[in-house]
Amino acid sequence: MTFRQARWEEPLLWEIRPPADGGVDPAQAPEVPPELRRRKALRLPELSELEVARHFTRLSQMNFGIETSFYPLGSCTMKYNPRVSEVLARRAGVADVHPYQPESSTQGLLAMLWEMEQALGKITGLPHTTLQVAAGAHGEYVALRMTAAYHRDRGDTKRTEVLLPDTAHGTNPASAAMAGFTTREIPSKNGCVDLRALEGALSENTAAFMLTNPNTAGLFEEQILEISDRVHSAGAILYYDGANLNAILGKTGPGKMGFDVAHLNLHKTFATPHGGGGPGDGALCVGERLKDYLPVPRIVKEGRKFHISYDFPRSIGKVKTAYGNVGLVLRAYVFLRAHGEEGLRRVSERAVLNSNYLGMRLGEHLPRPFKPLVKHEFVLSGAPLKARGVRTLDLAKRLLDEGVHAPTVYFPTLVEESLMIEPPETESKRDLDEFVAAFLRALNDTPERLHASPMNLAVGRVDEVRAARDLILSWRDMEKAAPGAGRSHATAASPPGVASAAPSDIPNPSVGAK
């Protein structure tokens, strides 16, 4: 299969058709106070619907998307978002609802949110849920604020330290720091938590232990019940990072493992839009220890009616406008209802099967540092590439030229030159076989081509050192660095850190490959 990304010299909307003289003069509503009214006409580009459609379609053609290519990003669960969820979420009964309109007019939406809370509580084994958290890192932060409130109410003011394994996602220590805690790393043994090291680190200062299970090596923490006993015996909270829930969906849950709180990524496990197609969305499920500290408002059912209540005096308060990203929650709700309990079990079975199939095939060509039987994802080491003067980063960039997104690289950090690959359940065997073929073409390419990749994309390789040194964080920064760079990369100098994407003279062995 050949691939070459579109390369449009696409101008800004302002440059397609500049605002007419004087701009658009918006009607001034008499109820708007004079100090809030615009003093100048609103200058907007005056475009036809066709011009706008072509502009954004061309931009989309210079990007990757789940509808066109496989996203093997480890610990990201980049699965397809069903279109039926999009259709239902855009119906007037959801899209046009105002968060502060009377409860009597939103009973259907409140019922959906309440049912979603109950379903997630059953899935996780942690029966008390809030849907207010915006995504994963926000869920971590809210959970740690609840943990702090729990210890404070018990008089444990010395509990200021959060423990994390060396396989933890990077947001874990960042969220702990934002919540006012210090962090301490626990080493792994054969890819899982070293129980003896954990025992030595637990103390009267420990507030929580944050753990992902399965972890980022794709391994199930088989000593999880012993870990839970040790953490609780020390008086600490056991926190579940739900980024990898797809591997155990319908099979087991954090509550059965002894966790006190779990954040879930609805944009991962439950197939709502992810990343650039966002916004993301999350949920937080808790057990008895932390239920009183959940954010407000909470949805309460009385008889057959639902209402929003703030009457929870020990709550940590409000953490999100209104009641979270309701449109995203509805998409996840549709996913749950469409699958049912048996369907959710098949989701995890297929995800684990895909991971082991792909891991076995690629493990014949690059080392796998951990045991071969894994859950939803697996890790390869690109260390042997160094003998050819090549790094994992070069291989990842070369994969982009095959029309597939690169895997997660250099994480987890305990593996040299690591690649972390997660094939979700939505990918077919054909998709996986095509990825293997693309991976092998990239792996066996010449060092010269690997260093030059990507060459088939709208933008070439970024000079990451220069880009980090000369930060370009806004359009004004780009214009200062290289005037006109954003208007047409074919005619203007590239800004610092961005390479030209002009076709290379280096022959491409993948062209014509089947």
pLDDT in tens, 458-499: 989 988 888 888 888 887 887 788 776 555 433 334 444 544
Whether 33 has a pLDDT exceeding 90, the answer reads no
Q: Output phi, psi for 334, to 5 deg.
A: -60, -40
Beta bridge partners of 212: 241
Bigger pLDDT: 38 vs 128: 128
Q: What are the residue ranges spanned by the domains of the chain?
A: 1-63, 108-339, 343-461
Decide: helix, strand or coil at residue 155.
coil
Confidence of residue 12 (pLDDT cuts 50, 70, 90): confident
How many Å is the Cα radius of gyration of the chain? 25
Q: Sign of the CA dihedral 252, 125, 111, 294?
A: negative
Most confident of 14-28, 63-77, 307-321: 307-321
CATH of domain 343-461: 3.90.1150.10
What pTM was estimated for this model as a whole? 0.89
Question: How much of the chain, in percent, has pLDDT values that exceed 90?
Answer: 75
Question: How much of the chain, in percent, has pLDDT values that exceed 70?
Answer: 91
Q: Do domains 108-339 and 343-461 have the same CATH topology?
A: no
CATH value of 108-339 in 1.10.3720.10, 3.40.640.10, 3.30.70.890, 3.30.300.30: 3.40.640.10
Decide: helix, strand or coil at residue 163.
strand
Beta strands 237-242; 206-212: pairing state? parallel
What is the per-residue pLDDT for 29?
A: 64
Distance CA 119, CA 113 (A): 10
Distance CA 423, CA 436 (A): 12
As a whole number, mean pLDDT of residues 260-265 equals: 97
DSSP for 376-424, please give it. S-EEEE-GGGGGGT--HHHHHHHHHTTTSPPPEES-STTSTTEEEE---
Decide: helix, strand or coil at residue 55.
helix
pLDDT in tens, 215-231: 999 999 999 999 999 99
Determine the longest span between alpha carbons in the chain, in angstroms. 73
Q: Output phi, psi for 307, to 5 deg.
A: -145, 160
